[in-house]
């Protein structure tokens, strides 16, 4: 492909955007990238050079694995100097996990990495895939007059909204507005023009070199509280010897029932070096363990505040930090700190 001033690499992992219906079962199955390209002839009209790398085979994002995040990191790292930006086509089901993971694994990223996909396949009449793909490419290619990228960070673009990737959550399984970013404002909106909100976008810092991280440890679990939770089950779960950390989904501002056995189980797990992160079950807002007696007891048991992180961000951050081999105390400290724009200070 001939090189223009701006070049974009598309990484096609799969997802509904490129799926077609299996005539026998009626279920949607992943299909190859050429099929997708055939439905977006507009790509040829772009004034930027576009290349593509595709997962073979493309996958439904429910099959996404941390090893594949590493693979995406390798692709971006080895093509970093060749391209101005990257667009990742991804299923919506786990897009927020991948976007969050990449925000940690691509340390000091200074180029756009825009994830997008669709709710309807690209071949469907009312598809949202075409619009999402075309605008994601435009955003990835956007530069300031001095040639620096407008959005040098990992984002999700969906349904006219550009969001910081590690602030997103899939909020709707059917609506075109599949993603929300409750604790962080939009980075841009796409109407007749793309309007960027520079105050919300990570600042471009010249001279920073990408540090690609590939290691992770996924011996962790998301554990959600509910009224009536049982002692034996919790003790077994927290006592598992392989367990390294827990994303502990609590009530409201980070509260839990006042049960001595629960606090004892959490204190014991913490003493064993397991890292327990408090994340609210609410769709928005932050954890404040000092606010109520029901939260304070967790703080005293060694539970760490994940503040206003999403579950996806806290989970992938913990996997990433455990993979770095840092001491437990340092990981505990970093889990409450903002390291990639995932926590509001």
Residue whose C-alpha is closest to residue 317's, from 280, 296, 343: 343
Residue among 16 and 316 whose Cβ is closer to ligand ASP: 16
Q: Minimum CB separation from ligand ASP for residue 117, in Å?
A: 5
Q: Determine which one of 6, 16, 92, 280 is catalytic.
A: 16
Q: 12, 36 in Cβ contact below 8 A?
A: yes
Residue among 14 and 306 whose Cβ is closer to ligand ASP: 14
Q: Minimum CB separation from ligand ASP for residue 86, in Å?
A: 19
Residue among 118 and 305 whose Cβ is closer to ligand ASP: 118
Residue among 16 and 181 whose Cβ is closer to ligand ASP: 16
Q: Minimum CB separation from ligand ASP for residue 41, in Å?
A: 22
Residue among 91 and 112 whose Cβ is closer to ligand ASP: 91
Q: Minimum CB separation from ligand ASP for residue 132, in Å?
A: 11
DSSP 3-state of 292: coil
Own/partner long-range contacts of 157-160 (Cβ < 8 Å, ≥24 apart): 157/114, 157/115, 157/116, 157/132, 157/190, 158/92, 158/116, 158/117, 158/132, 159/128, 159/132, 160/131, 160/135, 160/189, 160/190, 160/191
Q: Give alpha helix (H) positions in 10-128.
A: 33-38, 66-79, 95-105
Both tokens of 130, joined, read 């075409």
Residue among 92 and 310 whose Cβ is closer to ligand ASP: 92
Q: Minimum CB separation from ligand ASP for residue 319, in Å?
A: 20
Q: 119, 174 in Cβ contact below 8 A?
A: yes
Q: What is the DSSP string of 69-89?
A: HHHHHHHHHHHTTT-SEEEEE
Q: Give, as one character, the DSSP assignment of residue 65.
A: -
Residue whose C-alpha is closest to residue 336's, from 292, 267, 295, 279: 279
Q: Measure CA 247 to chain center.
A: 15
List residues near ligand ASP by CB under 6 A.
14-16, 60-62, 91-93, 117, 119
Q: Minimum CB separation from ligand ASP for residue 46, in Å?
A: 23
Known catalytic membership, residue 16: yes
Q: 287, 305 in Cβ contact below 8 A?
A: yes
Q: CA-to-CA distance for 169 and 147, rounded, in angstroms?
A: 32
**Active-site residues: which are they?**
16
């Amino acid at each position: 492909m001939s090189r223009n001033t701006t070049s974009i690499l598309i990484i096609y992992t799969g997802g509904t955007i490129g799926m077609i219906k299996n005539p026998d079962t009626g279920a949607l199955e992943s299909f190859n990238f050429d099929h997708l390209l055939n439905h977006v002839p507009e790509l040829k009209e772009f004034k930027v050079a576009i290349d593509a790398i595709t997962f073979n085979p493309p996958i439904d994002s429910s099959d996404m694995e941390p090893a594949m995040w590493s693979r995406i990191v390798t692709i971006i790292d080895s093509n970093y100097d060749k391209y101005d930006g990257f667009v990742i086509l991804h299923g919506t089901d786990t897009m927020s996990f991948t976007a969050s993971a990449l925000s940690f694994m691509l340390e000091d990223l200074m180029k756009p990495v825009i994830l997008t996909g669709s709710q309807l396949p690209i071949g469907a009449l009312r598809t949202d895939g075409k619009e999402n793909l075309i605008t994601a490419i435009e955003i990835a290619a956007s530069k300031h007059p001095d040639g620096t990228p407008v959005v040098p960070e990992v984002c999700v673009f969906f349904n006219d909204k550009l969001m910081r990737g590690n602030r997103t959550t899939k909020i709707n399984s059917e609506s075109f507005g599949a993603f929300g970013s409750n604790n962080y404002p939009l980075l841009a909106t796409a109407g007749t023009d793309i309007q960027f909100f520079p105050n919300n976008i990570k600042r471009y810092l010249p001279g920073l070199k990408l540090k690609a991280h590939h290691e992770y440890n996924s011996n962790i679990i998301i554990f959600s509280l509910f009224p009536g939770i049982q002692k034996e089950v919790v003790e077994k779960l927290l006592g598992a010897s392989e367990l390294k950390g827990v994303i502990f989904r609590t009530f409201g501002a980070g509260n839990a029932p006042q049960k001595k056995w629960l606090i004892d189980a959490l204190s014991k797990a913490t003493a064993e070096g397991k890292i327990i992160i408090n994340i609210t079950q609410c769709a928005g807002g932050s954890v404040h363990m000092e606010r109520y007696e029901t939260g304070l007891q967790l703080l005293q048991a060694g539970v760490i505040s994940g503040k206003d992180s999403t579950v996806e961000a806290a989970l992938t951050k913990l996997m990433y930090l455990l993979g770095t081999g840092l001491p437990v105390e340092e990981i505990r400290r970093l889990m409450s700190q903002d390291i990639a724009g995932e926590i509001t200070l």
